[in-house]
Amino acid sequence: MGKRLKVASNGPLLLFLLFLLFLLQPVAATASSGGGGGPDDPAAGWDHLFHEMLIDITVIGLVFALVTLYLMVKYRRKEPGQQGTPVRLSRGAMLGWALIPAFAFMADDFYLALKGWDLFNDYRNVPEESYEVKLESRLWNWSFTYPNGVQTMDELRVPEGKPVVLRMTSADVVHSLFLPDFRVKEDSMPGRITYLWFYPKNRGEYVFTCAEYCGLLHSNMKGKLIVMPAEDFFAWLEEEAKIKGG
Amino acid sequence: MNTQPGGIGRTLKEWIFTTDHKRVGVLYLIGSLAAFVIAGLMALLIRIELAEVGATITTSSTYNVWLYFHGAAMILAFQIPALTGFFANYFIPLMIGARDVAFPRLNALSVWLFWMAIVLALLTFVIPNPPDIMWTGYPPYSTTYTPGNTAFYTFTVLLFGFSSIAGGVNLITTIVKMRAPGMGWNQLNIFVWCILGAFILQLIFVPVLGSAVTMLSFDKYLGTSFFSPAAGGDVLLYQNLFWFYSHPAVYVIFLPFIGVVFEIVSTFARQRPFNYKVAVYGGIFGTVLISGEVWVHHLFTSGMPGWIRTGMMVTTLLISIPVGLMMISLAGTLYKGAIEYRTPMLYGVGFIFLFLIGGLTGIPHAMVSLDLHLQDTHFVVAHFHYVMAVAGTFSIFGGVYYYLPKITGRMYSEGLGKLGFWVTFVGVNITFFAMFIVGLRGMPRRYFDYSQFPELEGLHQIQTYGAYIIALGFAITFIAWIHALVAGEKATGNPWGSKSLEWFTPETPPGHGNWGPELPKISEDWTPYDYGEK
């Protein structure tokens, strides 16, 4: 678009062209995104999609704000009695001003929504090889039960490099397990079993915490996620089982 | 009962037993501003508590009561009554050229119920076990485990609800049946359409909220088990019922406040609203149509089935169309206008930018996958503060400045008004922009302490500084209003040169019956926005 626009008398036209620009913007985003990579880490997918979303809404916001600012400055009152010049729209222009921005905006939204849906499926389809831990929340702690019956409180240890699925319920009120570093949360509640899964790729310690208001110690309902090398993890699990059994 | 013809009554009795829509409106304004001050004070205390990691000025149980009061009062006692109580009651009859609302006594009942609800809400700070269940009141916490008084919450909500239903029946009838002779549907102010839309939503959805909170108290005090899984109930039933009302409630607030801004912007730009018909039939009625089909986006992490989460993602994205159309129409109104930047107009254009930030940050929340991280964090708190709390308050403040000369016959001080605007504008952006970042980094909402996120302390401090600035801005604004009441210059009947009917009452403030002996006659080509040559 090298051609210089006659912005002075064509505010709406400018607005209109910029909306067309939104329409093209996701296409540009596709061109720049690499694709590829492992399909299944929702946290990485989240970061990627959020980044794209952030660019998208920033562009839309800036364009809208700049056009508004331009109109605000351009059409300020020059003399006291001055009136606005009525803008009469033909039926076609009326509909155009409704349908074209709506279409462009939706095209952009649904383009991102499609990716969002894809990512949602990653979040909700638990990989078959996942390691399953049961979780029961109560006022105000989290208790985890491993497949061999070992239980821990406010501490979840998992093997590195293996997807982990939590099957969750609650003994009393609604809580929500939130793993900020893994970009995921899901409520746990009495009478239902909910689940979430995450992919602990790197060893280390992470925070999990409660995200659904549950009274006095809500903000204190936190714990540690410890991602360990697989062999260390299974050794620890066996050791714990022995202690419990013996 | 209205012995005095003038707008402002002399005795308390005249105010309490009034059936005049203007006095009812002013009573709504006083009550809602009182609620705003107290709930705003709670917000400031909350910010002070969060400025540092750990307990600083209070205990967790008191903090939770503040949070409850702040949320419940700001929505139910400030925004909805200020917009659908004050603005609607005072200005709908004036805008449509009527002498009063259709059912003046019902109107009096509505404001009485509102005041009783305000008193009940304020008793929160007096009773031994104040509710700490947040304005959402989720069971089973609210039914079985809370030390607080859930019945208080139920009755407060019910009173506000009844008050609003009475107002809704009244104003819808007024708009449909009492327009001045000759006034057609396409000659209504945008604000009138917005109120019509908002009250249609209230009438459809308030009963759902009423039944939900009633079932809550039945469960707690009468031993029923609607929400208790142990006896076959379901905790998610409540969340669905609650949001089935409370999402449309967002539009009950949104429609009137954007309506007020339309009136302000149109008057100060001396320009008719851009693409009026699309804004009304597409924007307002599109919103009304879709607003009841999006509530599950509040339950994106509540274990709802995947298909309904993605379905409601689609409807949620769809609702950005009507809202977007209204925003285009609003900004487009500036085009070829003759804009004057008085205090109300600053709030009006300030609104556009704040609402833009709030609206666009809603899109990540609409994406169900992105919401799995953002839900229940400070990111969503910042989003709805921009989109509802801040944008709504700017609209209400702008509206109060705009109509102050008509209501009181006095002019405010332009210097104080503009100063208040700028201080507030800077403050809200500091506080709520920092809040986005904190939320993105994982800070959950409704936290008394954040020892698991010590790295966020700096950003929390910035938000608290912002809150001080906001408080200062609000203080200046209230001083400006009080100054206008006490020492303001006498205002003329139509100081802004508006073409809208509410500015053409024979007296200022308008007398009882509004119009003198004869109702205004509306010619076929009249609109409330007849600026420039025909």
In this prediction, residues A36-50 reach a mean pLDDT of: 79
**What would the CATH number be for the domain defined by B15-503?**
1.20.210.10
In the predicted structure, residue A163 carries a pLDDT above the cut 50: yes
Nearest to B360 among A12, A61, A113 (CB): A61
Residue B357 at interface with chain A, using a CB cutoff of 8 Å: yes
Least confident of A15-19, A44-48, A229-233, B63-67: A15-19
Find how far residue B444's CA is from the centre of its chain.
25
Quote the percentage of chain B above a pLDDT of 90: 96
In the predicted structure, residue A4 carries a pLDDT above the cut 70: no
3-state helix, strand, coil in chain B (%, to 5): 70, 0, 30
Please tell me the distance in Å from A79's CA to the nearest CA on chain B: 9
Nearest to A116 among B139, B233, B370 (CB): B370
Q: What is the pLDDT at residue B515?
A: 92
Q: What is the pLDDT at residue B50?
A: 97
Q: What is the pLDDT at residue A10?
A: 52
* Phi/psi of residue B373, nearest 5 degrees: -90, -40
pLDDT-based confidence at residue A246 (cuts at 50, 70, 90):
low
Quote the percentage of chain A above a pLDDT of 90: 78
Contact assessment for residue A64 and residue B324, using Cβ atoms and an 8 Å cutoff: no
Using an 8 Å CB-CB cutoff, list chain A residues near B352: 68
Nearest to B334 among A75, A116, A187 (CB): A75
Among B244, B256, B216, which residue's Cα sits nearest to residue B95?
B256
| Residue B394: Cβ-neighbour burial (10 angstroms; 0-12, 13-18, 19+) | buried
Least confident of B470-479, B497-506, B524-533: B524-533
Tokens 């102050």 belong to residue: B404
- CA–CA distance, B71 with B141 (Å, rounded to integer): 17
**Residues 140-159 (A) with a CB less than 8 A from some CB of B:** none
Per-residue three-class SS string for B212-229: HHHHHHHHHHHCCCCCCH
Q: What is the pLDDT at residue A168?
A: 97
Residue A194 at interface with chain B, using a CB cutoff of 8 Å: yes
In the predicted structure, residue B402 carries a pLDDT above the cut 90: yes
Quick one: tokens of A111? Answer: 């383009």
Q: What is the pLDDT at residue A5?
A: 39
- CA–CA distance, A36 with A180 (Å, rounded to integer): 24
Q: Where are the alpha helices (DSSP H) in B275-390?
A: 276-277, 285-290, 306-318, 320-332, 343-360, 362-366, 368-374, 378-384
Q: In this predicted model, what pLDDT tens digit does every residue of B226-280 receive, in sequence order?
A: 999 989 999 999 999 999 999 999 999 999 999 999 999 999 999 999 999 999 9
**Residues 111-140 (A) with a CB less than 8 A from some CB of B:** 112-113, 116-117, 119-124, 139
In this prediction, residues A97-120 reach a mean pLDDT of: 92
Contact at CB, B373 and A184, closer than 8 angstroms: yes
Q: What's the number of CA atoms in the CB half-sphere (13 Å) around residue B299?
A: 31
Angle at B440 between CA B434 and CA B443, to 5 degrees: 85
Q: What is the pLDDT at residue B532?
A: 86
Angle at A198 between CA A195 and CA A201, to 5 degrees: 160
In this prediction, residues A201-212 reach a mean pLDDT of: 96
Contact at CB, A53 and B309, closer than 8 angstroms: no
pTM over 0.90: yes
| Residue A245: Cβ-neighbour burial (10 angstroms; 0-12, 13-18, 19+) | exposed
Across the beta sheet with A141-145, the strand order is: A151-153, A141-145, A131-138, A164-170, A194-198
Residue A16 at interface with chain B, using a CB cutoff of 8 Å: no
What are the CA-CA distances from residue B380 to residues A25, B374, B395, B444 (Å)?
A: 26, 7, 21, 9
Report the chain A residue with the minimal C-alpha distance to residue B304.
A194
Contact assessment for residue B507 and residue B438, using Cβ atoms and an 8 Å cutoff: no
In this prediction, residues B279-294 reach a mean pLDDT of: 95
Using an 8 Å CB-CB cutoff, list chain B residues near A222: 451-452
| Residue A143: Cβ-neighbour burial (10 angstroms; 0-12, 13-18, 19+) | middle
Residue A213 at interface with chain B, using a CB cutoff of 8 Å: yes
- CA–CA distance, B440 with B374 (Å, rounded to integer): 7
Using an 8 Å CB-CB cutoff, list chain B residues near A117: 310, 313, 368-369
Least confident of B344-358, B396-410, B520-534: B520-534
Q: Which residues contact A6 (CB under 8 A, 6 or more apart)?
A: none
Using an 8 Å CB-CB cutoff, list chain A residues near B306: 120-121, 124
Q: What is the pLDDT at residue B3?
A: 42
Using an 8 Å CB-CB cutoff, list chain B residues near A109: 317, 320, 363
- CA–CA distance, B452 with A178 (Å, rounded to integer): 12
Q: In this predicted model, what pLDDT tens digit does every residue of B37-61 receive, in sequence order?
A: 999 999 999 999 999 999 999 999 9
Contact assessment for residue B86 and residue B33, using Cβ atoms and an 8 Å cutoff: no
In the predicted structure, residue B131 carries a pLDDT above the cut 50: yes
Is the CA virtual torsion B80, B85, B91, B94 positive or negative? positive
Domain boundaries, chain B: 15-503
Q: What is the pLDDT at residue B9?
A: 56
Residue B55 identity (one-letter amino acid): A
pLDDT-based confidence at residue A23 (cuts at 50, 70, 90):
low
Q: What is the pLDDT at residue A33?
A: 44
Burial string for A73-97 (b: 16+ CB within 10 Å, else e) reads: eebebeeeebbbbebebeeeebebb
Q: What is the pLDDT at residue A244?
A: 75
Quick one: tokens of B212? Answer: 């939900």
Mean pLDDT across chain B: 95
In the predicted structure, residue B334 carries a pLDDT above the cut 80: yes
Nearest to A53 among B233, B310, B364 (CB): B364
pLDDT-based confidence at residue B34 (cuts at 50, 70, 90):
very high
Mean pLDDT across chain A: 87
Please tell me the distance in Å from A51's CA to the nearest CA on chain B: 10
- B409 DSSP assignment: S
pLDDT-based confidence at residue A31 (cuts at 50, 70, 90):
very low
First to last CA, chain A: 77
In this prediction, residues B136-142 reach a mean pLDDT of: 95
Residue A189 at interface with chain B, using a CB cutoff of 8 Å: yes
Containing H/E element for B451?
Answer: none
Q: What is the pLDDT at residue A22?
A: 56
Please tell me the distance in Å from B528's CA to the nearest CA on chain A: 13
- CA–CA distance, B31 with B49 (Å, rounded to integer): 27
Q: In this predicted model, what pLDDT tens digit does every residue of A45-101 receive, in sequence order?
A: 999 999 999 999 999 999 999 999 999 999 999 998 899 999 989 999 999 999 999
Residue A70 at interface with chain B, using a CB cutoff of 8 Å: no
Q: What is the pLDDT at residue A157?
A: 97
